[in-house]
């Protein structure tokens, strides 16, 4: 033991400050510096190695073969091919997620950067704004990388790397130990939830475009307000919105509540025929909403979108009512955004039933 070298503990705070400081010495280019954002995310999120990753991959691929037919039977939704499962640790998830959101951010926020880069702005203000926003995004990525269990990757432009489902295996192992669920099929429940999201985006052909159109509307709204006000950090964007934005917020909240409530309901339907149902049902019904996406978390930060656990429960209750009234498979017939439940209808499903009746 005396000959063993004890690894020197990294000064994480110094690493973070060093990466933030680097922003001020970068070329004069508008926009988020993704390299710095990733470095910050890495520094703020300790990585955990996956043990026996080969058997983990085999388990998830076999599980997909069991779960997808069940989801299809329950929902009558259609999907093409088999899900591409990527079992990953936190840092690989950060890199892949950056690639997923980069195109969207660069497109949506370029007009905003041009407003920040006004000739009236001083060099220090420009660099300061870029540094703060890049740092906020990096820390946000690092935070979520420690919480996310699984994530269906939805990209703005479908391509060969699209249609991927990430499983952040170390986070699931941590959650298992926290909840005392090492002997329960927690992974199957998580996978059922994320596979339902895959069915949603593949079955509802209009959903992807509608989802990104809502986010584009956020950018347009913010851009209009920025002509009058100053931006210093992401969180200041929420203060720039006015009453005209309420309809937009309601649409986003309704969509999030619906797709998450639907995925939770299907997960429990699948879970009902798996071992340890009552135990896991109790865990999932009272768990905090930790498993989130970068886009939802960013929308929360930018526009004050407050998606509390109660709103997801309302989404679950909405789907449950529809299942009891028309059957779960009836939701597969929603063929346009206009037939989605509104924010008001999510908490009063009978109004949606009457509107579409």
- Residues 206-238 have pLDDT tens digits of 999 998 888 788 777 766 666 555 555 554 445
What is each CA distance from 12 to 7, 9, 39, 40, in whole angstroms?
Answer: 14, 9, 12, 10
Chain centroid to CA 263? 13
pLDDT of residue 341 exceeding 90:
yes
pLDDT of residue 55: 93
List, in order, residues 6 or more apart from 347 with CB less than 8 Å away.
314, 318
Q: Report the C-alpha gap between 302 and 309 in whole angstroms.
A: 19
User: 23: burial class by Cβ within 10 Å (0-12, 13-18, 19+)?
Assistant: buried
HSE, CB side, 13 Å, CA atoms: give it for residue 137: 23
- Residues 108-134 have pLDDT tens digits of 666 566 666 665 656 666 677 777 778
pTM of the prediction? 0.84
pLDDT of residue 258 exceeding 50:
yes
pLDDT of residue 319 exceeding 80:
yes
pLDDT of residue 155: 76
Percent of the chain exceeding pLDDT 90 equals 43
Going by their DSSP bridges, the two strands 84-88 and 150-153 should be labelled as unpaired
HSE, CB side, 13 Å, CA atoms: give it for residue 351: 9
**Structure confidence at residue 104 as a pLDDT band (50, 70, 90):** confident
- Residues 139-160 have pLDDT tens digits of 889 999 999 999 998 876 666 5
Going by their DSSP bridges, the two strands 84-88 and 164-168 should be labelled as parallel
What is each CA distance from 126 to 10, 142, 236, in whole angstroms?
Answer: 31, 24, 15
Q: What is the mean pLDDT of residues 343-352?
A: 95
Nearest 5°: phi and psi at 347?
A: -90, -5
pLDDT of residue 355 exceeding 80:
yes
Three-state secondary structure call for residue 109: helix
Which residue's entry shows tokens 């309420």?
A: 246
What is the chain's mean pLDDT, rounded?
A: 80
**Structure confidence at residue 2 as a pLDDT band (50, 70, 90):** very low
Q: What is the mean pLDDT of residues 311-331?
A: 93
pLDDT of residue 301: 60
- Residues 65-101 have pLDDT tens digits of 999 999 999 999 998 888 889 999 999 999 998 988 8
For the CA atoms of 164, 169, 175, 180, the dihedral, rounded to the nearest 10 degrees, stands at 120
Q: What is the mean pLDDT of residues 42-66?
A: 93
Q: Are 170 and 90 a contacting pair, CB within 8 Å?
A: yes
pLDDT of residue 78: 92
**Structure confidence at residue 303 as a pLDDT band (50, 70, 90):** low
Q: Are 60 and 185 a contacting pair, CB within 8 Å?
A: no
pLDDT of residue 200: 97
Q: Is the dihedral of CA 103, 162, 299, 258 positive or negative?
A: positive
Three-state SS string over 7-27 comes to: CCCCCHHHHHHHHHHHHHHCC
Q: Report the C-alpha gap between 284 and 264 in whole angstroms.
A: 9
């Amino acid at each position: 033991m005396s000959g063993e070298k004890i690894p020197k503990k990294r000064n994480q705070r110094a690493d973070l400050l060093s990466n933030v400081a680097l922003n001020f010495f970068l070329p004069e280019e508008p926009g988020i510096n993704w390299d710095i954002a990733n470095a910050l995310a890495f520094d703020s999120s300790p990585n955990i190695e996956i043990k026996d990753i080969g058997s983990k991959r085999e388990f998830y691929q076999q599980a997909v073969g069991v779960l997808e037919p069940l989801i299809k039977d329950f929902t009558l939704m259609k999907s093409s091919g088999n899900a591409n499962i990527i079992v990953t640790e936190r840092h690989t998830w950060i890199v892949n997620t950056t690639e997923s959101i980069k195109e969207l951010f660069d497109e949506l926020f370029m007009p905003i950067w041009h407003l920040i880069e006004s000739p009236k702005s001083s060099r220090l203000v420009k660099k300061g704004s870029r540094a703060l926003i890049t740092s906020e995004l990096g820390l946000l990525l690092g935070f979520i990388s420690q919480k996310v269990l699984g994530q269906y990757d939805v990209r703005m432009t479908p391509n060969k790397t699209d249609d991927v489902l990430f499983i952040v295996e170390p986070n699931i192992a941590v959650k298992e130990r926290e909840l005392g669920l090492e002997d329960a099929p927690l992974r199957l429940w998580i996978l059922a939830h994320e596979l339902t999201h895959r069915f949603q985006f593949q079955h509802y052909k209009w959903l992807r475009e509608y989802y990104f159109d809502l986010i584009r509307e956020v950018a347009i709204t913010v851009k209009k307000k920025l002509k009058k006000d100053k931006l210093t950090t992401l969180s200041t964007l929420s203060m720039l919105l006015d009453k005209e934005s309420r309809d937009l917020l309601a649409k986003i909240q309704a969509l999030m509540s619906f797709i998450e409530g639907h995925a939770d309901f299907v997960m429990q339907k699948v879970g009902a025929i798996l071992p340890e149902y009552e135990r896991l049902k109790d865990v999932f019904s009272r768990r905090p909403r930790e498993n989130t996406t970068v886009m939802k978390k960013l929308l929360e930060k930018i526009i004050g979108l407050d998606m509390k656990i109660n709103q997801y429960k309302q989404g679950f209750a909405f789907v449950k009512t529809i299942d009891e009234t028309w059957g779960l498979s009836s939701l597969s017939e929603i063929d346009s955004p206009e037939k989605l439940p509104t924010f008001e209808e999510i908490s009063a499903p009978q109004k949606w039933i009457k509107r579409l009746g």
